[in-house]
Amino acid sequence: GAVVSQHPSWVICKSGTSVKIECRSLDFQATTMFWYRQFPKQSLMLMATSNEGSKATYEQGVEKDKFLINHASLTLSTLTVTSAHPEDSSFYICSARDPQGINGELFFGEGSRLTVL
Amino acid sequence: RKEVEQDPGPFNVPEGATVAFNCTYSNSASQSFFWYRQDCRKEPKLLMSVYSSGNEDGRFTAQLNRASQYISLLIRDSKLSDSATYLCVVSRSNDYKLSFGAGTTVTVRA
């Protein structure tokens, strides 16, 4: 089946540094990818919709200058957490839809756990 | 009010038992409904879509009640491997933006 891969799975960084997370669709082309964030014992919250070749659409309350999204190709979207702070520590997950898939199922990446010291 | 609400549980059940739980959604315009399973520190994985007529997949049965705006999941003959957090997921339209519940934790004990 369709696979979405994220990298890195784990990242620990110092406060003030920037961290880039990659999301790849491995065997299908995804014009749209979604980025979510999940804090412990809470639901996944949609941060932004990543559109290939155009600007991302951010959800209310998500700072576009802090969470930079680039969707330069049909198989890759990146999320960069700029000037990360401890409160940005979270589980970041991307998802993409296989346009050839059944019922429009969204496939999720493995997630990237960010810890900011 | 949250768009999707779930009883967080945990539901602790013995192997072989039946466990059921619901999820409510606030937006009556919601069109698509899913149950996802999430294991600890892992990404969510689709368990099953939920159709208006209700549907079954092996030991799992999902129901949708549009009038009362809730969906349910029933697990029969629970296995140890069913231990996970079950996420209720709702989509308002066909743009594939999903709203997630916080999850219901199920623990199946031997």
Spatial distance between the Cα atoms of B4 and B86, rounded to a whole number of angstroms = 13
pLDDT of residue A40: 85
Confidence of residue B36 (pLDDT cuts 50, 70, 90): very high
Rounded Cα distance between B38 and A114, Å, is 18
Cβ-based contacts of A113 with chain B (< 8 Å): 41
Instruction: Please give the average pLDDT of every successive group of 10 residues along chain A, which has 117 residues.
Output: 85 96 91 91 90 90 95 92 96 86 76 95
- Residue A86's nearest CA partner among A21, A35, A12 is A12
- B92 contacts on A by Cβ (under 8 Å): none
Closest CA to B87 of A90, A88, A106: A106
Q: What is the pLDDT of residues B46-76, one digit of tens each?
A: 899 898 888 999 999 999 999 999 999 999 9
The whole-number pLDDT of residue A104 equals 61
Q: Determine how many CB atoms are found less than 10 A away from the CB of residue A81.
A: 24
Between CA B30 and CA A69 the distance in angstroms is: 28
Tell me, yes or no, if A42 comes closer than 8 A to chain B by beta carbon. Answer: yes
Contact assessment for residue A57 and residue A48, using Cβ atoms and an 8 Å cutoff: yes
Q: What are phi and psi of B66, to 5 degrees?
A: -70, -35
Give the pLDDT confidence score for residue B53 in this predicted structure. 87
Give the chain B residue whose CA is nearest to the CA of A111.
B43
SS3 category, B80: helix
Residues of A numbered 51-90 whose beta carbons fall under 8 angstroms of chain B's beta carbons: which are they? none
* Digit-coded pLDDT (tens) for A28-61: 888 889 999 999 888 899 999 998 888 899 999 9
Determine whether the interchain pair B44/A108 forms a contact, defined as Cβ–Cβ distance below 8 Å: yes
Residue in A with minimal Cα distance to B87: A43
- Can you tell me the mean pLDDT for B82-108? 88
CA distance B50 to A33: 23
pLDDT score for A48: 94
Judge contact between B90 and A46, C-beta under 8 A. Answer: no
Q: Which amino acid is at A78?
A: T
- Answer yes or no: do B32 and A43 touch at CB < 8 A: no
Is the CB of residue A115 less than 8 Å from the CB of residue A63? no
Tokens representing B37?
């399973």
CB contact under 8 A, A45 and B87: no
Please report where in the chains the tokens 């491995």 appear, as a residue: A26
